[in-house]
Structure 1
Amino acid sequence: MEIGELLLILAGSLAVSAFARWRGWPAPLLVVAVALGVSFIPGVPSVELDPEVVLTVILPPLLFSAALDVSFQNFTQSLRQIRRLGVGLVVVTAVAVGLIAYWLVPALTLPGALLLGAVVAPPDAVSASSIGRKLGLPRRVMTVLSGESLINDAASLTLFKVFVAVIGGSMFNVGGVLWMFVVAIVVGLAVGLVIGLVVQFIRTRITDSVVGTTLGLLVPFAAYAAGEALNGSGVLAVVAAGLYLGYNSPKTGYQTRLQEQPVWGSIDLLLEGFVFALIGLQVSGVVASVAQSPLGLWHSVALAAVVFVVVLLVRPLFIFAAYYRSRSKLLSITAREPHRFSLRRLPGIRRLKHHPGPELSWQELTVISWTGMRGVVTLASAAAVPTMMVSGDFEGRETIILVAFVVTVGTLLLQGLTLPWVIRRLGVIDDAQPERDGEQEVRIFELSVRETKDYIDQHRDEWAKRYGDANLDRSIAVLKRQFERQVTVLLEENNLDQQDIDAPDIDTGDAEKPRLSGPELTELRRELIGYRRSIVLRQRNAGELDEEVMRSVLRGLDAEELALDTSTVTRNRS
Structure 2
Amino acid sequence: METTHALWLLAVPVSALAVAAAARRLGLSAPLVLVIAGLLFSFVPGVPEFELDPEFVLYVFLPPLLFSAAWQSSFYNLRENVRSISLLSVGLVLFTTFAVGYTASALVPGLPLPAAFALGAIVAPPDAVAAVSVAQRLGLPRRTVTVLVGESLFNDATALTAFRVAVIAATGAGFTLTDGVLRFLFAAVAGAAVGLLIGPPLHWLRTRLDDPLVENGVALAAPFAAYLIAETVHASGVIAVVVAGLYLGHRFTESPAVTRLIGHSFWKVMVFVLETVVFLLIGLQLPPVIDGLSGYAPAELAGWAVAVFAVTVAARFVWVFPASAIPRRLSRRVREREEDVGWRGRVVVSWAGMRGVVSLAAAFAIPFVTSDGEPFPGRDLILFLTFTTVLATLLVQGLTFPALIRALGVGSARERYADTVAEAGAQHAAARAALERLEELTAEEELDAAVVDRLRQLAEHRQLRAWERLGGGTGPAGEEVPTATYRRLRREMLAAERRVFIRMRDERRIDDEVLDRVLHELDLEEVALRRS
TM-score range (shorter-chain normalised) is 0.7 to 0.9
1:140 to partner: Cα distance? 1.0
2:292 aligned residue: 289
Secondary structure class of the residue paired with 1:3: helix
Task: Tell me the amino acid that sits aligned with residue 458 of structure 2.
Answer: Q
1:324 to partner: Cα distance? 1.0
1:455 to partner: Cα distance? 3.3
1:476/1:239 CA distance change after superposition, 3 Å: same
**Counterparts in 2 of 1:212-291, with a 5 A limit?**
212-291=215-294
Task: Tell me the amino acid that sits aligned with residue 5 of structure 1.
Answer: W
Contact 1:68 1:245 in 2 (8 A): yes
- Cα shift readout 1:373-409 (whole Å, capped 9, x = no counterpart): 0001100000001111234111300000000000000
Contact 2:290 2:384 in 1 (8 A): yes
1:296 to partner: Cα distance? 5.2
* 2:85 paired with 1:92: no
* Unpaired runs of at least 5, structure 2: 474-520, 526-532
**Counterparts in 2 of 1:323-472, with a 5 A limit?**
323-331=324-332, 355=337, 357-391=338-372, 392-458=374-440, 462=444, 464=445, 469=446, 471=447
Contact 2:370 2:376 in 1 (8 A): yes
- Cα shift readout 1:342-400 (whole Å, capped 9, x = no counterpart): xxxxxxxxxxxxx5x33211101100000110001100000001111234111300000
Contact 1:78 1:358 in 2 (8 A): no
> How many Å separate the matches in 1 of 2:52 and 2:523?
46
Contact 2:223 2:241 in 1 (8 A): yes
> How many Å separate the matches in 2 of 1:560 and 1:239?
36
Taking only the aligned residue pairs, the percentage that are identical comes to 40
Matching residue within 178, 196, 205 for 1:193: 196
Contact 1:290 1:297 in 2 (8 A): no
Larger mean CA deviation between 430-439 and 254-263 belongs to 430-439
Secondary structure class of the residue paired with 1:394: coil
> How many Å separate the matches in 2 of 1:19 and 1:41?
20
* 2:316 paired with 1:315: yes
Q: Matched residue pairs, number?
A: 476
1:538 aligned residue: none
* Unpaired runs of at least 5, structure 1: 336-354, 498-558, 564-574
TM-score by length of 1: 0.79
Contact 2:19 2:33 in 1 (8 A): yes
1:55 aligned residue: 58
Q: RMSD across aligned C-alpha pairs, in angstroms?
A: 2.3
1:484 aligned residue: 460
1:285 to partner: Cα distance? 3.0
Task: Tell me the amino acid that sits aligned with residue 202 of structure 2.
Answer: V
Contact 1:77 1:358 in 2 (8 A): no
Secondary structure class of the residue paired with 1:368: helix
* 2:75 paired with 1:72: yes
Task: Tell me the amino acid that sits aligned with residue 339 of structure 2.
Answer: P
Matching residue within 143, 167, 183 for 1:164: 167
Task: Tell me the amino acid that sits aligned with residue 350 of structure 2.
Answer: S
Task: Tell me the amino acid that sits aligned with residue 327 of structure 1.
Answer: R
> How many Å separate the matches in 1 of 2:233 and 2:443?
57
Task: Tell me the amino acid that sits aligned with residue 457 of structure 2.
Answer: R
2:209 aligned residue: 206
> How many Å separate the matches in 1 of 2:7 and 2:330?
57
Contact 2:39 2:286 in 1 (8 A): yes
Secondary structure class of the residue paired with 2:45: coil
1:143 aligned residue: 146
1:202 to partner: Cα distance? 1.2
* 2:470 paired with 1:494: yes
1:421/1:212 CA distance change after superposition, 3 Å: same
- Cα shift readout 1:61-112 (whole Å, capped 9, x = no counterpart): 1111111111112111111101100110000000111111111224121110
1:562/1:208 CA distance change after superposition, 3 Å: farther
1:496/1:431 CA distance change after superposition, 3 Å: closer
TM-score by length of 2: 0.85
